[in-house]
Structure 1
Amino acid sequence: MSASSPGPAGTMQPEEGSTPSVAALPSGRANEVLPRRVHIGYASGSLVTGAFGTVPGLLLLPYLTDTLGVAAGVAALLVLGPKAWDVLVNPVAGRISDRTRTRWGARRPYLLGAGVALAVSFAAIFAAPFGVGPGAAAYVAIAFLATATAFAFFQVPYVAMPAELTSGYQERTRLMTWRIAVLALAILVSGAVAPAVVNAGGGGIPGYRWMGLFVAGLIVLGALGSFVGTRIRRSTSTSTDEGQPAVVAASGVSFRAQLAVAVRNRPFRVLLVCFVIQSAGIATILAGVNYFAEHVMRAAEAGPTILFACFVGPALLVMPVWTRVGARLGKLRAFQWASLIFAVGALALVTAPALPSLAVYLLVAAIGCGYAGQQVFALAMLPDCIAYDAARTGRQQAGVFTGLWTAGETFGLALGPGIYGLVLQISGYASSATGTAAAQSDSARLGVLLGFTVLPAVLVGLALLLLRGYDLTAERLAEAERAGTDRRAGQVR
């Protein structure tokens, strides 16, 4: 590995064998269509992000409260702390991947190395070598911290890649559509099957051990698929293996300066805040599935699996619909509509105790449709923000932006279960060390219900209001890129 070397006037000059920054990509690539193999290969990385983003949020809190006997408030902190650590680690991972130079490109080595490390540490979370008690809680906290760190070094390079794989505005949406389709499949498989694996493994600690190994296998599969599938060779004089930037110009600039540039990017700043809040809202639903099925629907065995199938299954079906909606209305308006569907559906679900099971499942399916659109358009708008910055500044800083993005997303996904756990604690939820949930009071059941319905509706609704500040359209992005091209041409002359 080697870093770029400084050139005249503090600029960064490309080294031999490297590729150009996105800002310098030939205009002919603006409308390119990536090979289907790349779509599928990149999307397979969502097996990793989907499994890690889903299973801890779904099962770690009940694992702590109903199997290891940890109090709900303490469990909330154990879930929140290690992922909050990623707020610090992710930007560092972004900068490191920006400076990386290998024959496999800047990002791909991390997909493989960090992916395998993530699988091993994930299985370790649920190994429970110390049984139940305080030692078990401390062990989970340490193992989860190691897992979150490995995930940062996978997720940040992975999210940075679309801005470098293609400069096409619509092609990024297609790439994200493939990614979110696989993400929905990963969530469906990991979220619906993981509880079933726990039950099939005998429940309690043995069942969770088998589940940890099952999810670790999904992670390895996704890491290998994304590493192999994103290898690209281009024949132009300005590109090589991955189509990644030859000069990550920002690598010679201090991290504080890079962070300041990202903060000054208004579209990115608004989008990031909205996505963090929405991630917290989505995570409260994930954290509450087992509790909602057990204490509201009285369906502890099949309830979590059916709820997950209703949440994620429709997402797979409506993904092509959201792509057409985005092409017709624009990414921002489509994002707003998806968020509105999610918020209204979650709020309506507060009536679940008075509804038949079928009606509850239909409402969850509506929430899943909104969730699919939220993910598609947020992740399709992120590369636009990165390209906008590259056009304005002449520097490629994808790793910095995605480091901040994944730090925010990870924090949001941790904040949701953390808040939900605190709601359980305040409402008087009783923990258990038997592997079976204890009988709960009326106030505890009310906490389970409100945390699963009203809380995510409020969070997503707040993010929807904040989205009004996002103003990066396709026309504005094209104008910025033309201005950047003209500026670089003038510098060459």
Structure 2
Amino acid sequence: MENSTKPLTTEKVSLKTKISWGAGGLADNYIMNMLTPHILIMPLYNIKFGMNPALIGIALAIPRVIDAITDPVMGNISDNTRTRWGRRVPYIFMGAILSAMILPLLWTPPIKTDWFMFGYLATLASLYSIAYTIFSVPYTALGYELTTDYNERTKVLAWRMYIGLFGSLTIPWLLRISMLDIFGGNIMTGALCVCSLISVIIIVSGIAPAVFCKEKTFTLKQEKISLLKASKYTLKNRAFMTIMFALMIILCAMFTCPMLSFYINAYHIFNDMKEAATMLGLGGVVMTACSYISMWLITFVSTHKGKRFAMNLGLGLVIFGVASLYYTLNPKWPYLQLVSSAIAGLGMQGCWLMLSSMTADVCDDDEMRTGLRREGLYGAVYGFVMKLSLAISAFTSGWILNVSGFDIKIAEATNTVPIGIITHMKLLLIGIQCLGLSIAMILILFYPLTKKRCEEIRAILDKTHPNEDVK
């Protein structure tokens, strides 16, 4: 248990502000996950259009790299912006609208050759990712700024996930919905129509934080700082770099392999793509339901035992759930795999919450050291690491499929995959995730900002600017 002193501040955030900021989590969830390979891109571009999965991986890695590079730039721009509306609001508004405009175009390549589709996907996905950066970096920074209280900060950030998880209920079903008969059996038409509706949701939920949330006034008075100098301070922060290395390993482990389970279901468990798509949706529902429990559980544990302990508890649950897939991915009991999804869901969402809350604590530590509030840059570096990790995952996911021995042409012709290749796919799916999550658990043990230390830092900062009013 982390040592604690009596809380020095009880800064509460109104329910209206929590809901308004949290609404942006729905837009964030949709925008970010639409480029996840196994949701629509691999089924559409690989299975439907026959594009080489390695090329798909490269096409998805390019925008993630571009996006990762632009994140710190966007963070510094936002931190140094001074307008009548604040540092964050204008960009949140702009980014949500641009992302919504580009999304439906991702699914309509006019020419179905490998290299044309490669250029089309890479270009559109890059523009989409830049628009996401414009939205997500200031949005995340705004959330870090809403309160300075150790426990209240976790509760505020949880609202991003409470509301964002409604998107998680539907995202795994997008492939199955796109295959409905009302679209004439044309998955491309289905994807276009479905994503057009999602674009409307992105605009409505994405601009809510810009319209209803207000920024703290004292940050508008601080000096501007160059990107180079700001980055130097950031990279020297031990607590932050510990979180970032853990985040990178978790994301690379969790997002490199998920499509393997879809292919195992499509060509082994069910031998049917529609049934596999249905299982993808059911798994998403189960994980989302358990994610709400996860946030309550991990928040409760973090309040009593500290964030470091809570984070590793969540990771331990995920490892157990993933490892159990060795037994639950079984054609004799095709729905048993939902048990694994439930166990992993109990831990994973709480881990994302802890990483965000720990990053917000780092911002206080940084202000004590530098005298500057730089939530924008910290949120940007968080985004940089996240998107760099997703770039690595996107690049390797296509190669992992090839390394496993899977061949789409043979699978489509025979409607099955040899059991040896299935076993290889299963071992890759489980082994990569469990190894990465175990390494992340070790890293989190070295995170230095305990509850007691955070309260000591807060006491020092409260003497510096005791009247932090919200504009």
The aligned residue for residue 41 of structure 1 is 20
Give 1:87-106 correspondences, 5 Å limit: 87-106=68-87
Of 261, 285, 290 in structure 2, the residue corresponding to residue 309 of structure 1 is 285
Whichever residue aligns with residue 199 of structure 1, its letter is M
Distance in 1 between the 2:349 and 2:429 partners?
Answer: 18
Alignment partner of 1:56: what SS?
coil
Q: Which of 259, 273, 276 is the equivalent residue of 2:245?
A: 273
| Counterpart-to-counterpart distance in 2, 1:321 and 1:348 | 21
SS at match of 2:219: coil
2:354 corresponds in structure 1 to 377
Give runs of aligned pairs for residues 332-371 of structure 1, distance below 5 A: 332-354=308-330, 356-371=333-348
Match of 1:262 in 2: 234
Distance in 1, matches of 2:423 and 2:57, equals 18
Offset of residue 439 of structure 1: 4.4
Q: Given the two structures, how large is their TM-score scaled by the length of structure 1?
A: 0.85
2:432 equivalent in structure 1: 455
Match of 1:137 among 100, 118, 138: 118
Residue 369 (structure 2) aligns with: 392
Equivalent in the alignment of 2:172: 191
Partner of 1:207: 190
* Counterpart-to-counterpart distance in 2, 1:118 and 1:246: 28
Secondary structure at 2:85 match in 1: coil
Number of matched pairs: 450
Matching of residues 113-128 of structure 1 within 5 Å: 113-128=94-109
Evaluate the alpha carbon distance shift between residue 182 and residue 88 of structure 1 in structure 2; reply closer, same or farther with a 3 A threshold: same
Question: By how many angstroms is 1:109 displaced?
Answer: 1.3
Contact 1:107 1:157 in 2 (8 A): yes
Instruction: Give the deviation of 1:320 after TM superposition.
Output: 2.0
Cα 1:214–1:411 change in 2 (3 A) is farther
Q: Which residue of 2 aligns with 1:7?
A: none
Query: Per-residue displacement from partner, 1:303-333 (whole Å, max 9, x unpaired)?
Result: 1111111222211233222221211111110
Instruction: Determine which of 324, 332, 339 is the counterpart of 2:300.
Output: 324
Please name the residue that 1:15 is paired with: none
**2: distance between equivalents of 1:431 and 1:295?**
10
CA distance in 2, matches of 1:263, 1:206: 45
- 1:55–1:191: 8 Å Cα contact kept in structure 2? no
Cα deviation for residue 430 of structure 1 reads 2.3
Label 1:89 to 1:441 Cα distance change in 2 as closer, same or farther (>3 A).
farther
| Cα displacement (A) at 1:203 | 4.1
Change (3 A) 1:434 1:216: farther
Q: Which amino acid aligns with 1:217?
A: V
Aligned twin of 2:66: 85
- Aligned counterpart, 2:140: 159
Would the aligned equivalents of 2:154 and 2:299 in 1 still touch at CA under 8 Å?
A: yes
Matches of 1:248 and 1:446, distance apart in 2: 60
Is residue 469 of structure 1 aligned with residue 438 of structure 2?
A: no
| Letter matched to residue 188 of structure 1 | L
Unaligned runs of 5+ in 2: 1-6, 467-471
Correspondence for 1:481 among 455, 458, 461: 458
Q: Deviations over 1:52-75 (max 9, x none)?
A: 232321222332211221112111
1:246 to 219, 232, 243: 219
When the two chains are superposed, the root-mean-square deviation of aligned CA atoms in Å is: 2.6
Quick one: distance in 2 between partners of 1:369 and 1:377?
14
1:350 to 1:479, Cα distance in 2 relative to 1, 3 A: same
Looking at structure 2, the residues matched to 79 and 446 of structure 1 have their Cα atoms a distance apart, in angstroms, of 27
Contact 2:294/2:348 (CA < 8 Å) preserved in 1? no
- Where 1:478 maps in the other structure, the secondary structure is helix
Is the contact between residue 328 and residue 340 of structure 2 (CA under 8 Å) also seen in structure 1? no
Q: Which amino acid is the alignment partner of residue 291 of structure 2?
A: A
Q: Is 1:222 matched with 2:205?
A: yes
- Residues 47 and 460 from structure 1, CA distance in 2 versus in 1: closer, same or farther, beyond 3 angstroms? same
The CA distance in 1 between the partners of 2:126 and 2:388, in whole Å, is 13
Q: How far apart, CA to CA, are the structure 2 residues paired with 1:344 and 1:277? A: 17
Q: Structure 1 residues 113 and 451 mapped into 2: Cα distance closer, same or farther (>3 Å)?
A: farther
Contact 1:72–1:431 (8 Å) recurs in 2:
no
Structure 1 residues 103 and 293: alpha-carbon distance in aligned structure 2, compared to 1, 3 A threshold = farther
TM-score of the superposed pair, with normalisation by structure 2: 0.89
Distance 1:102 1:54, change over 3 A: same
| 3-state SS of paired residue (1:471) | coil
Shift of 1:438: 6.3
1:412 counterpart residue number: 389
How far the C-alpha of 1:244 sits from its partner, in A, is: 5.1
Q: Aligned in 2, Cα 1:352/1:393: closer, same or farther, shift over 3 Å? A: same
On the 8 A contact 1:339/1:371 being kept in 2, the answer is: yes
How much does 1:486 deviate?
5.4
Q: Aligned partners of 1:97, 1:433: CA distance in 2, in Å?
A: 50
Q: Does 1:63 align with 2:35?
A: no
Query: Would the aligned equivalents of 1:66 and 1:432 in 2 still touch at CA under 8 Å?
Result: no
CA deviations 1:124-169 (Å, max 9, x no partner) are 1112233454212210110000001111111111111123221121
Distance 1:89 1:38 in 2: 28
Aligned AA (2:239): P
